[in-house]
Amino acid sequence: MANLLADLRYALRVLRASPGFTAVALLSLTLGIGANTTIFSIANGLLFSELPVPRVEELARVVRGKHSPLDYADLKYVRDHSTTIAAIMGERLTSGSMTSDDGRIDRFDGSLVTGDYFSGLGLRPALGQFFVQPGDVTSATGPVMVLSYDFWQTRFGGENSVIGRRVRINDG
């Protein structure tokens, strides 16, 4: 123990004698530890934390090859011929523009999803309802859009009257 204290005192004297080296060493340690902590926190959040949905242990992702999701025809086949799967959920990422009746155009990033997407995840809407038709039947009034909470708050000011409004997607 005496040797350890003597070594520690010697190290402090050497560091005090060369302040430039000490500053560079401390800065390097600080940046290295900070970068590793940041990378681990991001990886932990993305790769190791569970999805915030009920019964996450019952979810499975079916892919073709190493990572390619199934296309709609394959999803429909699995849904029509499955006897043990409660919901088949598929999505395709998309982006575009939304034009509302007041003429305002907003860009969005979203997903085209199957009819069982939200019910299969056990999610409930903050306002209104999700798709009411089972499977992927289009509603009588046309395609249905589900807004994220943030988009509803920022674009529509959290208005309850947003339900039932008509919008044009990609100027269609």
Examine the domain organization and report whether 28 and 90 are in the same domain. no
Examine the domain organization and report whether 138 and 67 are in the same domain. yes
How many domains does the chain contain in total?
A: 2
Measured distance CA(161)–CA(172) in Å, rounded: 23
pLDDT higher than threshold 90 for residue 40: yes
Examine the domain organization and report whether 87 and 43 are in the same domain. no
Report which of residues 142 and 5 the model is more confident about: 5
Examine the domain organization and report whether 39 and 61 are in the same domain. no
Across 1-5, 36-40, 100-104, which has the greatest mean pLDDT?
36-40
Q: Model confidence over 60-72: pLDDT tens digits?
A: 777 778 777 778 8
Query: Rounded to an integer, what is the distance from CA 105 to the centroid of its chain?
Result: 24
| Residue 105 dihedral angles phi and psi, to the nearest 5° | -110, 130
146 burial (CB, 10 Å; 0-12 / 13-18 / 19+) is middle
Q: Is-above-0.85 flag for pTM? A: no
Question: Residue 13: which domain range?
Answer: 2-48
| Residue 112 dihedral angles phi and psi, to the nearest 5° | -90, 125
Please give the sequence-ordered ranges of beta strands (E in DSSP) within the chain, or none if there are none: 63-64, 68-69, 91-100, 105-113, 167-169
Structure tokens at 110: 């979203």
The pLDDT of residue 138 is 64
Long-range contacts of the stretch 154-159 (C-beta < 8 A, 24+): 155/106
